[in-house]
Chains A and B, each alone.
Chain A
Amino acid sequence: MATKSDLPQGTLDLLILKVVALGPVHGYAIAQRLEQVSRHVVQVPQGSLYPALHRLENRGLLAGDWKETETGREAKFYRLTGKGRAQLETEAASWQRLTEAVALILKLSEGGAE
C-alpha cells in the first residue's frame, strides 16, 4: 500500500459536502465513499468525520434525517441544504482556482529547469 497523504487543512468539509451532494447518505457510507473515491490516496481519519458532520449540520450546511437503510436499520442520513449547495459551489470554485494556480507554478518551475 502506498503511503497515504494527510488531508490538506480545511478540505475535509469540502469533500464531505461534495459526497453528500450526490444524494442523502449516512456517516459510514461517507467514510467509505471518501476512501474509495480517493483511491486510498487520502487518509480520512474516521474520528474527525463525525465532528465535522455535526459542525456542518450546526452551520446549516447539512441537514440530518433518520431513515431506514436497505438492511432495515435506522441510520442518520445527511443531505445538502440550499445553503450547503451554495457553499459547495464557492468552495469548489476557489479550490479549482487554487489547484490550477499551484499546478501552473509547478509547471513553470519545470519549464525553468529545462
Chain B
Amino acid sequence: MNWWHRLLRRKKMEEQLEKEMRFHLDQHTAELMAQGIDPEKARRRARMALGGPERVKEECRDARGTRWLEDSWQDFRYAMRTLRQHPGFAVVAILTMAIGVGASTVMFTVVNGVLLRPLPYPEADKLVAVNGHTDNFNTKLFGKQNVAYPDFLDFQRESHSLTLAGILFNGGTASGAGEPEYVDFNEISSDVFSVLRVAPAEGRTFSAEDDKPGAAPVMILGYSFWQRHFGGKAGVLGSSLVLDGKSYTIVGIAPAGFRLYDSEPDICTPLGQDTAKYLRSRGPHPVHVLARLRSGRTLAEAQAELSLMGSRLAVQYKDTNRDRSFVVEPLRPEVGDLRSTLWLLLGAVGLVLLIACTNVASLLLARAVSRERELAMRVALGAGRGRLVRQCLTESAVLGLSGGVLGVGLAALGLQPFVAFWPGALPRAEEVQLDWRVLLFALTVSLVSGFLFGLAPALRAPAREFEQVLRAGGRSVVGSSRRLHSSFVVSEFALAMVLLVSAGMLGRTLLRLSSLDPGMNIQNVLVAHMALSPGVLADTGRIRAAWQDVLERARRVPGVESVAIVDTFPMREGFNAMGYWPTADVPPENKQPQALATSVSPEYLDVMGIPLRQGRLFNEQDRMGGELVVVIDEVLAQQAFGGEPAVGKRVWMPDMGYGPFVVAGVVGHVRHWGLAADDQAQVRAQFYYPFAQLPDKLLRRWSELMSIVVRTNVRPLSEVPSLKRELRGAAGDQVFYEVHTMEQLASDSLAHQRFLLLLFGVFAGLALVLACIGIYGVLAYLTGQRVPEIGIRIALGASPGGVMWMVLRQSLGMIFVGVALGTAGAWAAGRVLKQLVEGMQSMEISSFATMIPVLVFAALLASFLPARHASRVDPVIALRQE
C-alpha cells in the first residue's frame, strides 16, 4: 500500500484504527472483569494501561508517515470552504489572478515559441551556421556575410568536424502549372535534408549526382506550393514544371512546415547545377551555409578547423580571400530585432501581474485582519505557528492556482488572435503554442504569486499577541496593518503609473510619427514587383525593349496616370547602399560615405511626387551614350557639397563600375526606411540614376529585381486585375506580384509602434482598473475598521464633509507617494523604450503631465465611495457596535 493509497483510503484507515483500539480496550476490560473487578473500574484501568486512545491514535497516524499530506488535504478543504463562504472575495481574487496569469502566459508563449524553443530538427543543438567575416564589413547594415560557393565546396570536401550544406535564395517565374507565378526558390546542396535530418513527405531528396553541373534538372516542391498547385496529389512526382524557361522533373515533396531561415521555399533545385558565373568565383558570397557537427566533435574544434582552412584560402587566393575569415556559430532561429520587443512586452505584462498580486495580497490581508480572532483562538487551542502559516499559504495557493488555471484557459483562447494581430508576420509563428514549458511557466507564476500575496497575511497572523486580540473583541488594532495596506496601494499606483506614462509616451510618438512628411506623395500609388518573361531575360538585347513595352502597356490601362520602373522603393525591405566620393581620388572602400542608390526610369521621381529642389529631373535624353547623370537628394547634397549648389558637380561611385556622374538635379529626401526608422538610419543619403544608362552586363541582374510603380486617378487597388492582365506580355509569362499601395507601406512602417501602443494601452488600462479596485478595497476596509472612531468624531461634532476629507486625505497621501515613486519608475521605463522603439524621442514631460491627473482622478473616484460611506456613519449605531 503506497502513501497515495493510504491517502485515498484515509477514512477507512481511521475507522480501522478506531476499531483496533476499541478491540484492545474491550479485551483488556473483559479480562480484568474475569478477575472479579467491577466493570466500571475495569474499563478505567484498561484505558489507563493503554495511555489514552486519542494520543495512541495520533501517534499511529504519525507512524504512517503521510501526515503532512493529510494536513495539506485538510488545509485544502478548509481553504475551499472559506472561499465558498466569501464568493465575492473569491471571484474578485481569482479573476484578478486570471487576468495577470493569462496575460503573462500569452506573452510567455510567444517568447517561448519565437525565442526559446529549439529549431524543429532532431538534435538541433548540433546544428551550426558558417559565416564569412571581414573586419570592415558593416554587419549592422548588411547582415551577416555568407560564403562563396567555391569556398563552400572546399569546406564540404575537407572538413572532418562538420557535414556542411549550402542554400542559395533565389526567385523566378514558374509556368506550366496554370497561370505563371513568381516563386521563391532555393538552390540547395544535396545534403541540406540530411544535415537537418528531415525526410521528404513524398519521393526523394537530391543525391550527390543531382548536385553537379550538367546533371538532369530535378526539383523538390515545397509542401504548400504542392498543395496550392497540385492539390497534394502524389502523382505529380515524375512530371515536369518549367522554372525560368527551363523544364525540371519533380522528384520529391518537402515535408509540411519545412522552412529554411524561416521561410518556406516554393521550390528547391540542386545548387550544383547552377552554372552562373558569380557562383564560380570566390569574390561574391551568396551561399548560406549550415552544418551539423559530426558525432563527438565540438563547436571549438569546428571553429579551429574552419579558421585553419580560411587562412589557407587567404594565402592561396589573395585577391578574394585575403582579409577573410570564417565563423562557426550555433544555428539560431532568425527573429531579427524582435528579441528586445518581446522582452519589453513580457516586462510590461510582468508589471500587470505584479499589480494583480499586490491587489490580491491587500484583499487577503484585509481578510486576515478580520479573521484575527479566529486565528488567535486557534493559537490558544494549541495550533503551532508553522501550522497556521501553512494553512494561510494553502489558501493563497488555492487562489493562485485557480486563477492560474483560468488564466491558462484565457491564454489558450487569446493566443491565436494575438499572433494573428501581430504586425507583419511573426517569425516562427507556427512554433507559438502551449507546450510543457508554457504550462510549467504558468504553474510557477501562479504558485509563486500565490506564495507572494499569501506571505504577508500568513506571517502576520500568529505574530500578534493572541490574548490581546481575544480580549479586544471586535475592535482590533489597525496600526500596523494600515502601514502594510498603504504600501500595497502605493506600489500598485507606482506600477500603474509606469505603464500609463509608457503608453502615453508611445501614443505621442505615434502621433508625431504619423504626421511626418514621407517626402513624397503617397496617395494613389501602387507598387508591385515585376518579373519579365524568362525568355526575354535570357537575351540581353531584348530587355530594354521589354521594359519599354511594360511601361507602354501599363500606361494604356484606364485610370492609370503615370508609370515608372525602379529597383528599390521606399518603406519596404530591400536597398542598395554604395560608397560615393565628390572628387576623383576616392579613398578605400571602408572610408567612403554611403548612399542609397536607386535605378529608375525617367518618370519615377514625377510618379512618386518627389519634389525638385534644384536643377532638373530625368528625361528621355538620359540614355546610353549620353552624359552619365544622377539626381541626388538634399541629404546627399548637404553631405557631399556642403552648402554649395550641387547641380553640375560630379560624384564618383566606384561600386557602380562606371562613372563619374554629373549631378543633374537635387530633390527632397524620401523616408526610405519608414516614417519612424529613417531619422536614425545608418545610411540616409540618396541618389537616383537612370536605368537606361545601366551597362548591358548588369542589365539582366537588375531586371530580375525591378518593380513597377503606378500613379492612378482611381482607387489604386481596383487597377490590379487589369494591370495583371495587361502586363502578362506577349508570351503570357510575365508576372506582376507582391502588390502594395504606398499608403499601406507608409502605415505598415509604423505598425510596430502602433502595436506596442495598443498593448501598452491595454496593459495600462488594466493596471489602472486593478489599482483602483485595490485602493477602493483597502479604503473600504480601513474605514470599516474605523467606524466606531468615526462615530465618536461625529457625535463630538465633526461635520460629514470633515469626515470625508479625513478619508480622502488618507488616500491622497498614498496616491502621491505612489505617483512620486511611479515617476521615477516611468523615467527609467522611458529610457528603455527610447532604446527599443524607433522614432521615440527623449522623455516628454507632457506625457507625465497628462497621465498624472488621469491617475489621481481615477484614484479619487475610487476613494470617493468609502469616503462618502464614512461621512454617513450614524453615531448611535456606530457606538452601539462596541
Which residue of the partner chain, among A28, A47, A58, contacts B55 with CB atoms under 8 Å?
A47
Given A51-B62, A54-B63, A55-B63; A28-B21 close (CB under 8 Å): no
Interface residue A79 (Cβ < 8 Å from any Cβ of B): no
Interface residue B20 (Cβ < 8 Å from any Cβ of A): yes
Interface residues of A in 50-77 (CB under 8 A from B): 50-52, 54-55, 58, 66, 73-76
Q: Report A16 CB to chain B, min CB distance, Å.
A: 13
Complex Cα distance A51/B63, Å? 6
Q: Report B46 CB to chain A, min CB distance, Å.
A: 9
**Which chain A residue lies CB-closest to B13?**
A54
Q: Beta-carbon contacts of A35-58 to B below 8 Å, as 1s and 0s?
A: 000000000011110111011001
* Inter-chain contacts of A27 with B (CB < 8 A): 20, 23-24
A75 touches B23 (CB 8 A): yes
* Inter-chain contacts of B55 with A (CB < 8 A): 47
Q: Report A100 CB to chain B, min CB distance, Å.
A: 32
* Inter-chain contacts of B26 with A (CB < 8 A): 73
Which residue of the partner chain, among B28, B49, B56, contacts A50 with CB atoms under 8 Å?
B56
Complex Cα distance A74/B16, Å? 10
Interface residues of B in 50-102 (CB under 8 A from A): 50-52, 55-56, 59-60, 62-65
Q: Report B156 CB to chain A, min CB distance, Å.
A: 63
**Which chain A residue lies CB-closest to B66?**
A58
B52 touches A47 (CB 8 A): yes
Which residue of the partner chain, among B16, B23, B52, B59, contacts A51 with CB atoms under 8 Å?
B59
Q: Report A17 CB to chain B, min CB distance, Å.
A: 16
Q: Report A8 CB to chain B, min CB distance, Å.
A: 20
Complex Cα distance A2/B56, Å? 27
Complex Cα distance A31/B28, Å? 10
Interface residue B19 (Cβ < 8 Å from any Cβ of A): yes
* Inter-chain contacts of B62 with A (CB < 8 A): 51
Interface residue B722 (Cβ < 8 Å from any Cβ of A): no
Interface residue B27 (Cβ < 8 Å from any Cβ of A): yes
Given A27-B24, A28-B24, A50-B21; A76-B16 close (CB under 8 Å): yes
Which residue of the partner chain, among B19, B27, B51, B59, contacts A74 with CB atoms under 8 Å?
B19
* Inter-chain contacts of B16 with A (CB < 8 A): 66, 76
Which residue of the partner chain, among A47, A54, A55, A74, contacts B50 with CB atoms under 8 Å?
A47
Q: Beta-carbon contacts of B792-803 to A below 8 Å, as 1s and 0s?
A: 000000000000
Which residue of the partner chain, among A26, A54, A66, A73, contacts B64 with CB atoms under 8 Å?
A54
Tally of A interface residues using CB under 8 Å: 19
Complex Cα distance A75/B20, Å? 7
* Inter-chain contacts of A52 with B (CB < 8 A): 63
A76 touches B20 (CB 8 A): yes
Complex Cα distance A58/B49, Å? 25
Q: Which of B21, B28, B56 has the most CB of A within 10 A?
A: B56
Q: Beta-carbon contacts of B13-36 to A below 8 Å, as 1s and 0s?
A: 000100111011011100000000
**Which chain A residue lies CB-closest to B3?**
A58
Which secondary structure characterizes the binding site on chain B?
helix
**Which chain A residue lies CB-closest to B28?**
A28
A28 touches B27 (CB 8 A): yes
Given A50-B59, A55-B63; A26-B23 close (CB under 8 Å): yes
* Inter-chain contacts of A75 with B (CB < 8 A): 20, 23
Complex Cα distance A26/B22, Å? 12
Complex Cα distance A31/B24, Å? 10
Q: Report A92 CB to chain B, min CB distance, Å.
A: 23
Given A27-B20, A28-B27, A74-B19; A45-B60 close (CB under 8 Å): no
Q: Report A44 CB to chain B, min CB distance, Å.
A: 11
**Which chain B residue lies CB-closest to A55?**
B63
* Inter-chain contacts of A45 with B (CB < 8 A): 51
Interface residues of B in 511-557 (CB under 8 A from A): none
**Which chain B residue lies CB-closest to A76?**
B20
**Which chain A residue lies CB-closest to B59?**
A51
Q: Report A36 CB to chain B, min CB distance, Å.
A: 12
Complex Cα distance A29/B19, Å? 15
Complex Cα distance A40/B63, Å? 27
Given A45-B51, A46-B49, A76-B16; A28-B59 close (CB under 8 Å): no
Complex Cα distance A76/B20, Å? 7
Complex Cα distance A27/B27, Å? 10
B20 touches A50 (CB 8 A): yes
A28 touches B23 (CB 8 A): yes
A51 touches B56 (CB 8 A): yes
Given A58-B65, A76-B16; A47-B23 close (CB under 8 Å): no
Q: Report B810 CB to chain A, min CB distance, Å.
A: 56
* Inter-chain contacts of A46 with B (CB < 8 A): 24, 49-51
Q: Report B12 CB to chain A, min CB distance, Å.
A: 11
**Which chain A residue lies CB-closest to B6?**
A58
Complex Cα distance A51/B62, Å? 8
Which residue of the partner chain, among B24, B52, B63, contacts A58 with CB atoms under 8 Å?
B63
**Which chain A residue lies CB-closest to B30?**
A71
Q: Beta-carbon contacts of A73-99 to B below 8 Å, as 1s and 0s?
A: 111100000000000000000000000
Q: Which of A47, A52, A76 has the most CB of B within 10 A?
A: A47
Complex Cα distance A75/B27, Å? 10
Complex Cα distance A41/B590, Å? 103
Q: Report A59 CB to chain B, min CB distance, Å.
A: 9
Complex Cα distance A36/B872, Å? 80
Complex Cα distance A26/B52, Å? 19
* Inter-chain contacts of A54 with B (CB < 8 A): 60, 63-64
Q: Report A78 CB to chain B, min CB distance, Å.
A: 10
* Inter-chain contacts of B24 with A (CB < 8 A): 27-28, 31, 46, 50
Q: Which of B19, B27, B28, B55 has the most CB of A within 10 A?
A: B27
Complex Cα distance A51/B17, Å? 11
* Inter-chain contacts of A47 with B (CB < 8 A): 50-52, 55-56, 59
Complex Cα distance A54/B52, Å? 17
**Which chain A residue lies CB-closest to B21?**
A50
**Which chain A residue lies CB-closest to B64?**
A58
Complex Cα distance A51/B51, Å? 12
**Which chain A residue lies CB-closest to B27?**
A28
B23 touches A73 (CB 8 A): yes
Q: Report B202 CB to chain A, min CB distance, Å.
A: 58
Complex Cα distance A50/B24, Å? 10
Complex Cα distance A26/B19, Å? 12
Complex Cα distance A8/B843, Å? 79
Complex Cα distance A55/B51, Å? 18
Q: Report A74 CB to chain B, min CB distance, Å.
A: 7
Complex Cα distance A75/B52, Å? 20
**Which chain B residue lies CB-closest to A31?**
B24
Q: Which of B49, B56, B63 has the most CB of A within 10 A?
A: B63
Complex Cα distance A26/B24, Å? 9
**Which chain B residue lies CB-closest to A56?**
B63
Complex Cα distance A31/B49, Å? 11
Complex Cα distance A51/B24, Å? 14
Complex Cα distance A52/B21, Å? 14
Interface residues of B in 710-730 (CB under 8 A from A): none
* Inter-chain contacts of A50 with B (CB < 8 A): 20-21, 24, 56, 59-60
Contacts A50-B56, A54-B60 aside, 4 further interface pairs with beta carbons under 8 A come to A50-B21, A55-B63, A66-B16, A76-B16
A-B contacts, 16 listed (Cβ < 8 Å): A26-B23, A27-B24, A28-B28, A31-B24, A46-B50, A46-B51, A47-B50, A50-B24, A51-B60, A54-B64, A58-B63, A73-B23, A74-B19, A74-B23, A75-B23, A76-B23
**Chain B residues close to A by CB (< 8 Å):** 16, 19-21, 23-24, 26-28, 49-52, 55-56, 59-60, 62-65
Nearest 9 Cβ contacts at the A-B interface: A47-B51, A51-B59, A55-B63, A54-B63, A28-B27, A54-B60, A51-B63, A28-B24, A46-B50
